Amino acid sequence: MTTNKQPIWTKNFLSISFLSLLVFITFYTLLTTLPIYVIYSLEGTEAQAGLVVTMMLLSSILVRPFSGNLMERLGKRNVLIGSTIAFAVISLGYIWVEQFVPLMILRFMHGVAFGLLTTTTSTIAADILPVERKGEGLGYFTLFMNMAIVIGPFFGLTLIQLISFQQLFITLSILVVFSVLCAMLVKLKNVGIPALSTAKKKLSIHDFFEFKAVPVSIISALVAFAYAGILSFISVYSVEIGLGHLSGYFFLVFAFMMLLTRPYLGRLFDQRGPQIVIIPCLITFSAGFIILSVAAESPWLFLIAAGVIGVGYGSLLPFLLSLSIKTIPPSRNGHGTSTFFTLYDSGVAAGSFLLGLMVPYIGFSNLYIFLAGLVLAIAVVFYLYQKHMEARKNNEKKQGSRAC
């Protein structure tokens, strides 16, 4: 007997997925090109280049915990359309901003729109998928975001070799117009403003965070801190060592190796447990930083480093997220995911700023050696955490058997 599966690829799902793709392409394009713009066009410092990344991440982190209440009050579709229009309008501002302080204000505003928009798209994607195919559908949805990690940096870093920054900003502004059209195509049931409950609910910190997910989320934040050295500064580093024309290909090789190894590593993670996969990935990630630190004027070493980092870092995010979710009850999955990404984004933001402060004093080569050591330290912390959790489980089993 066969059963008819409910479809995933509906007009709503395609619209919200392509909307997410366009927004994240814009996000990652700006994330990798603005540091170059700040240093070489605005004559800023490496610290300012890092701050321009941190500012947008900071404002998006601040707004995320309040997104749920806003969707409840105004309706999900209304927040979706409003935040998409805001994201598009603010994107136009980059064309005319030619000083650092106005750029920082623009980045803060852009982060608020981005935080609201990405939280809403993920919520709507989960809502419109059939219950029996939600896991499969969300896997496809996140694939669109993974595609943007490749397309955005490659698109931006390739274009700035051919056109001016103003022309790049105009191109991105055209791109986000299509994201508004995608938002308009999303139709939801009960799209009006929901009626507000007369009973006032007392808010607590548990409405925003899941504390059982915090230990693994802190480890993810440290990993994100290290990855900020790639995300925020690989474009500037490549120019400094005379390989600026290869900076876009760095992310292409990175993504290829990530996609090539993730299925095998995913099966290994399920079959053998997290420790057997995550610790080797961290060691590989560290090795990639070491190769990168000695890649001066060597295109092959530069691209080999990209591949090694793609293998090492590429699977850490989904594995750590899966591990954090396993520590909490299913009813708190949403809060656990929110906690995880809040701390992860905080790690990227802190890394972009603090590493930018370090570069003028130690240089990029020494910075990547420092990050290699940091990642090895993270591997030790993760090992100790796993041993602690194993000992805790054994104690609980012993106490349970004694009670029987």
Q: What is the pLDDT of residues 275-327, one digit of tens each?
A: 888 999 999 999 999 999 998 778 899 999 999 998 898 778 777 877 776 77
Distance CA 402, CA 275 (A): 29
Over its C-alpha atoms, the chain yields an Rg (Å, rounded) of 22
pLDDT at 281: 93
Question: pLDDT tens digits for 359-384?
Answer: 889 999 999 999 999 999 999 999 99
Instruction: State the average pLDDT for the chain.
Output: 83
Question: pLDDT tens digits for 145-203?
Answer: 777 877 888 888 889 889 999 999 999 999 999 999 999 999 887 544 454 444 455 66
With a pLDDT cut of 70, the percent of the chain lying above it is: 86
Helix ranges, 75-185 (H):
76-92, 100-128, 134-159, 165-185
Phi-psi region of 363 (alpha: psi -120 to 50; beta: other; left: phi over 0): left
- What one-character DSSP code corresponds to residue 329? -
CB distance 352 to 228 below 8 Å? yes
Domain spanning 207-404: CATH 1.20.1250.20: yes
User: Taking the model in full, what pTM does it have?
Assistant: 0.73
CB distance 128 to 16 below 8 Å? yes
C-alpha dihedral, 310 to 316 to 318 to 322, nearest 10°: 160
Exposure b/e, 118-138, CB count within 10 A at least 16 = b: bbbbbbbbeebbeeeeeeebe
Residues in Cβ contact with 63 at an 8 Å cutoff, skipping those fewer than 6 apart: 111, 112, 115, 116
Would the pLDDT of 43 be above 90? Answer: no
The tokens for 182 are 């995608």
Residues in Cβ contact with 356 at an 8 Å cutoff, skipping those fewer than 6 apart: 45, 46, 47, 48, 49, 50, 51, 232, 233
> How buried is residue 71: exposed, middle or buried, by Cβ count under 10 Å (0-12/13-18/19+)?
buried
The tokens for 340 are 């995880």
Residue ranges of the chain assigned to CATH 1.20.1250.20? 8-187, 207-404
Query: In this structure, which CATH number among 3.30.70.100, 2.130.10.30, 1.10.260.40, 1.20.1250.20 belongs to the domain 8-187?
Result: 1.20.1250.20
Question: pLDDT tens digits for 67-80?
Answer: 767 777 788 889 89
Distance CA 351, CA 51 (A): 10
List the Cα angle 94/95/98 in 5-degree steps: 75
